[in-house]
Amino acid sequence: MDITRRQGLMALTALAAPAGLASPAFAQGAAASRAETLRQVTGNAVNTLDPTMPGSTREAFGISMNVYDRLVAFGRKQVDGNWVFDHTVIRGELAERFEVAADGLKITLHLRGNAKWHDGTPVTAEDVKWSLDRAVSAKSLAGPQFTTGSLSKPEQFRIAGPGVIEVLLDKPDRLALSNLAVPYAIMINSKLAKQNATAEDPWAQTWLQNNTAASGAYKVETYRPGVQVTLTRNEDWKNGVDGVLPFFKRVILQTVPEAATRANLIERGDADLSIDLQASDITTLESRAKVKVASIPQTNGFTHISFNTQVAPFDNVKVRQAIAAALPYDSMFKAALFGRGRPLFGGSFSGQPATADFPQPLPLKQDVERAKALLAEAGLANGFSTPFAFSAGQAATAEPLAALVQEALAKIGVKVEIQKMPDAQFNTLVAEKKINFYTDAGTAWLPATYYFFYLYFTRDQRWNFASWNNPRIVELSNAARFETDQAAYDAACREMIGILAEQVPLLMLWQPNMDAVMGPAIQNFTYQFYRQVDFRDLKRA
């Protein structure tokens, strides 16, 4: 939801007010001390309290993860001194424990006996059954995601006794359990939701966009769509690690559109945290050393340059290989991100990689003479002309990248017209497969190699950026999904990576850092797979 200019000015006025004044934003927080209140500023907005609704923003996902419980959650680990989520470790959240059958066809989840909804009523297996049925039945974002774990119909969810739920599978899908931890897998107080459902809206989707029926660590105290959300700690929450309550009693998430203003608020101490500042601002802030920055590569995301592989000349693999060889990857990385991220170019393998991890650096490097030779082999020795598009919302990074693409391809005879498009137009045209050469970004909920290939390189759907149709990739990804032998799974993944590196339907460029800029006293920031803030982990020194 867009924030108006007047709302933006009100937000800035509220944030700039001294902590003790009854500002519009923080008067409600007077009961909680400054030390116990976390203030986050964001350039985007929370546009719904139900993360399964189409069009939900990432900020809505973040709020949801703190307000709603899932049955299970991912663990976390330290990498280079920073906390990051660990998708290989799954622990109970609303479920106290779970078991996966030896044949992988049944997951049994045991609910915590003392779990309660925010209204104080007990969480029951009937509530969980209704929530899972809703995920696969309602028209929402949850259904398509759940199908990636072979969860598609209500009959797969069975109440097996008081507080016990069984999830039944036809095949041992590698990602069935993981899908119960994604932001869409919210567990809902079904009795409360049903009271606000209608015959036309049996899953209470309209009501839940502006209200909650949750059991999570925080309750929504106030919600002003596109402006501010205020959360208060749920003192009865029992579902965290070792049953420990979050440190912060109150959390205020406020939309402040201007990145420079957000940076200034953090540096002054008027706000505690922001995760969407410009790379140039972060470099300046670091040099003044008044804030703390956690810079963590987005391990489940990537920036790319894509070709429409179904349209000439990009249906010719030699044309794609020529462009891949012409580009100045290191210069693009520095110009777009100031080097703040993990390169996905410069890999050294030929054929297949040594590991099955993905994304990993692919063997992309600049070789202008090879690029010219490949174009000649493609029958285009004199080059060709093409637009190259990006969305206005990504201009800060995409504009310098596009300029370097234009300059580099001119050296091999390819004339590039740069097209900067409004976000809505760009996203619509990408979804309709009407842009043939462009840069964009993607983020997979679950950073498993098979999942990346299934999501981004198969089927005629929105996230197959390059419209790639490689029968061997389809065969391998479908087989890997249900493969229980780790060695066979790894072999399939290495083969898929090798085919991608050779065929280059798109060019994996880098994983940008998620830069969390914080006050010096904020601790325990964790990079989560949905790229938002988990308030439950944070503390103030």
- The residue extents of the domains of the chain are 5-67+216-279+519-540, 72-179, 301-513
User: Which residues have a Cβ under 8 Å from the Cβ of 328 and sit 6 or more positions away?
Assistant: 366, 404, 408
- Quick one: tokens of 209? 């966009």
CB 122 within 8 A of CB 236: no
- Quick one: tokens of 339? 């080097």
CB 196 within 8 A of CB 50: no
Q: Spell out the per-residue pLDDT of the chain, length 541, in tens.
A: 333 333 443 444 444 443 333 344 444 444 458 899 999 999 999 999 999 999 898 899 999 999 999 999 999 999 989 999 998 899 999 999 999 999 999 999 999 999 999 999 999 999 999 999 999 999 999 999 999 999 999 999 999 999 999 999 999 999 999 999 999 999 999 999 999 999 999 999 999 999 999 999 999 999 999 899 999 999 999 887 777 899 999 999 999 999 999 999 999 999 999 998 988 889 889 889 899 999 999 988 999 999 999 999 999 999 999 999 999 999 999 999 999 999 999 999 999 999 999 999 999 999 999 999 999 999 999 999 999 999 998 999 999 999 999 999 999 999 999 999 999 899 999 999 999 999 999 988 888 999 999 999 999 998 999 999 999 999 999 999 999 999 999 999 999 999 999 999 999 999 999 999 999 999 999 999 888 999 999 999 9
pTM of the model: 0.86
Cα–Cα distance for residue pair 517/272, rounded to 1 Å: 8
Please give the CATH number for the structural domain made up of 72-179: 3.90.76.10
Predicted local confidence at residue 528, as pLDDT: 92
Place of tokens 């703040």: 340
Cα–Cα distance for residue pair 466/458, rounded to 1 Å: 10
H or E element that contains 501: helix 486-503
Ordered DSSP codes for 397-458: HHHHHHHHHHHHHHTTTEEEEEEEE-HHHHHHHHHTT--SEEEEEEE-SS--HHHHHHHHSS
313: cis peptide before it, omega within 30°? Answer: yes
Dihedral sign computed on CA atoms, order 134, 135, 139, 141: positive
Assess if CATH 3.40.50.2300 describes domain 5-67+216-279+519-540: no
Assess if CATH 2.60.40.680 describes domain 301-513: no
